Chain A
Amino acid sequence: MSDRGTLLEKDIRGLDRLELPLGTTDSRARRLWRSAWPKLAAVAMALVVWELVVLSGWQERFVLPPPYEVFETLGELATTDRFWVAIATTLRRAVIGFSVAMGIGTVVGLAVSQSSVLRRAVGSLITGLQTMPSIAWFPLAILLFGLTETAIFFVVLIGAAPSIANGLINGVDHIPPVLLRAGRMLGARGMTAWRHVVLPAALPSYVGGLKQGWAFAWRSLMAGEILVIIAARPSIGVQLQFARELSDSDGLQAFMIVVLIIGILVDIIFGAVERRLRRNRGLVA
């Protein structure tokens, strides 16, 4: 290479070196701890407040038991088959209901994002459905399907699908035009453009929609299981309802904690996927 070439190369490499941010990478454990301690502190604080409310004597202890009693009950429950059968039933319903909602929401979202006629026709309807409290659907669902699992699935579906569809529609709408132009310029047409440009570009918003859809599905499912009680089919919702009827406050709150924990765990999974997507694209620091 000529002198000029080497000089140019040095210029470029020097500039690159200067332009790049200095990397400060924390160890994995450190990062985990940094994200974990505020959560742990919040939980500890909630438990302290709970304990204080109990100590204040505002309610009888059998109505509002202190945290340690509830956790003790939870521990005992965890040794029974019924507890795990109930959780398994509920999770199975959640997975099936959410999967169907994902399928339908995705298809509807794809269709609406591509057709301006469809968008004018059902675009605001989807948002309307999204804001409608799912519990309002149960009377109709029970009339249509009776006290069956189908009635529960119906409401879970109608609760979750609009969020999923909207996530995808928003994602497609907000793709920077320059990326679409770049795709076209590079020769991506039709399905290739969809597969390699549109869908990956819309993915973070779609996952956001899935996350929100999950929250709606989970809420609808709990409401459904309390309203639509199917004999000899223990589920988390049924356990909540029975515990109330038996004034078993320990058991009631133990199951509520289960509901909360499952909700949080799934949210953490979606959140991790979403954060990873955004970080890879430089959308978060």
Chain B
Amino acid sequence: MTAAVRVTESARATDRAVEVLGVSKTYGDGHSAVAALEDVSLSIRRGEFVCLVGASGCGKSTLLNLIAGIYRIDKGSIAAKGRVGLMFQEPALFPWLTVERNIETAMRFRKARPDRSRVQELLRIVHLEDFGKSRPHELSGGMQQRTALARTLAQDADILLMDEPFGALDAMTRTVLHDELERIWQEAGLTVIFVTHDVREAVRLGDRVVLLSSRPGRVVDEFDVDLLRPRRLDSPEVTEIAAQVTERLLEQVRSHV
């Protein structure tokens, strides 16, 4: 009945979207140096939904920023096949632009001609077609985050990196956005790397949950989540796997005492 299976061998190299090999990252130098990541390796299949969980200081955000190419890698290598788009916990929309223009701007930055019909399509995908002319501040937090998702998709990203994107939202909105993200991921055939500190959210969404240790961040364990979709956050199966992951996470945390 239990669907959690330790991953022994990662998938074949041919259909890999992201390949992280022996990556280390240290902040600062000398005595104040903090090792954020140490020898992290991770293979992510095309179309896979991977959740990274870990306690504070496990370098989950650092890893995302490295994959996105925002930070420089100290050691190791990262290969991403496809265009990478990154979403933050904050929607980070440009407040001086309407929802539509925010999405158009993402196209313009990529030197692509803003495509009005594509903007409308993206708005439909995130169910915001009635709010194209609204300003970001006129929308709720969940709607802003959906706009940010549409903006990221407007870059034609194949690989979606999400850094606790629903962390600031209320539980109800979160639940609905889980369904929404799952649908878009399936329909658009995206590869998603989703960082969260919420184990249950990770199990709800991920094909695989990767557990990182803290200071330095290392891959401690991986869990395949072989549950049928759509899943529910409060289903017994999700709860059970989440309990296993949490147990491992706590072992990790205790080791720091």
State the CA gap A190–B96 with chains docked (Å): 20
State the CA gap A8–B85 with chains docked (Å): 25
Contacts of A16 in B (CB 8 A): 127, 131, 140, 142-143
Interface residue? A13 (CB, 8 A): yes
Map CB proximity to A onto B134-157 as digits: 1 under 8 Å, 0 otherwise: 011111101100000001000100
Contacts of B138 in A (CB 8 A): 20, 282
CB atoms of B109 and A192 under 8 A apart: yes
CB atoms of B180 and A178 under 8 A apart: no
For chain B, the bracket of interface size reads 35 or more
State the CA gap A181–B87 with chains docked (Å): 10
Interface residue? B197 (CB, 8 A): no
A187-B95 CB under 8 A given contacts A11-B179, A280-B135: no
Contacts of A5 in B (CB 8 A): 183
State the CA gap A8–B176 with chains docked (Å): 7
CB atoms of A196 and B109 under 8 A apart: yes
Interface residue? A281 (CB, 8 A): yes
Contacts of A277 in B (CB 8 A): 96
CB atoms of B96 and A15 under 8 A apart: no
Question: Chain A: which residue is nearest B108 at the CB level?
Answer: A196
Map CB proximity to B onto A174-190 as digits: 1 under 8 Å, 0 otherwise: 00101101111111100
Contacts of B139 in A (CB 8 A): 20
The contact of A11 among B70, B88, B96, B176, by CB within 8 Å, is: B176
CB atoms of A8 and B183 under 8 A apart: yes
Map CB proximity to B onto A149-189 as digits: 1 under 8 Å, 0 otherwise: 00000000000000000000000000010110111111110
CB atoms of A200 and B94 under 8 A apart: yes
The contact of B142 among A15, A179, A192, A203, by CB within 8 Å, is: A15
Question: Chain A: which residue is nearest B92 at the CB level?
Answer: A182
Contacts of B143 in A (CB 8 A): 16, 19
State the CA gap A240–B85 with chains docked (Å): 64
CB atoms of A186 and B155 under 8 A apart: yes
CB atoms of B96 and A200 under 8 A apart: yes
State the CA gap A19–B143 with chains docked (Å): 9
Interface of A is mostly: helix
Interface residue? A201 (CB, 8 A): yes
Which of A182, A197, A200 neighbours the largest number of chain B CB atoms within 10 Å of its CB?
A182
A12-B155 CB under 8 A given contacts A19-B142, A178-B92, A182-B88: no
CB atoms of A203 and B96 under 8 A apart: yes
The contact of A282 among B109, B136, B230, by CB within 8 Å, is: B136
The contact of B109 among A9, A11, A20, A186, by CB within 8 Å, is: A186
State the CA gap A108–B135 with chains docked (Å): 32
State the CA gap A185–B138 with chains docked (Å): 24
A281-B92 CB under 8 A given contacts A15-B142, A15-B172, A186-B151: no
For chain A, the bracket of interface size reads 20 to 34
Interface residue? B19 (CB, 8 A): no
Smallest Cβ distance from A282 to chain B, in angstroms? 2
Map CB proximity to A onto B71-87 as digits: 1 under 8 Å, 0 otherwise: 00000000000000110
Question: Chain B: which residue is nearest A196 at the CB level?
Answer: B105
Interface residue? A4 (CB, 8 A): yes
CB atoms of B183 and A188 under 8 A apart: no
Contacts of A19 in B (CB 8 A): 140, 142-143, 173
Contacts of B176 in A (CB 8 A): 8, 11-12, 15
Smallest Cβ distance from A160 to chain B, in angstroms? 25
- Which 8 residue pairs are nearest across A and B when measured between Cβ atoms? A282-B137, A19-B140, A182-B92, A281-B95, A187-B109, A178-B92, A186-B109, A188-B109
A sample of 26 cross-chain residue pairs with beta-carbon separation below 8 angstroms, ordered by A number, consists of A8-B179, A8-B183, A11-B176, A11-B179, A12-B127, A12-B176, A19-B140, A19-B142, A19-B143, A20-B139, A20-B140, A178-B90, A179-B92, A181-B88, A184-B70, A185-B86, A186-B110, A186-B155, A187-B109, A187-B110, A200-B97, A201-B94, A277-B96, A280-B96, A281-B96, A281-B137
Which residues does A use to contact B, with CB under 8 Å? Answer: 4-5, 8-9, 11-13, 15-16, 19-20, 176, 178-179, 181-188, 192, 196-197, 200-201, 203, 277, 280-283
Known pairs A181-B70, A185-B70, A280-B96 / 14 extra A-B pairs, C-beta < 8 Å = A5-B183, A8-B180, A16-B127, A16-B131, A19-B173, A181-B88, A182-B94, A184-B70, A186-B109, A187-B109, A187-B155, A200-B97, A281-B135, A283-B95
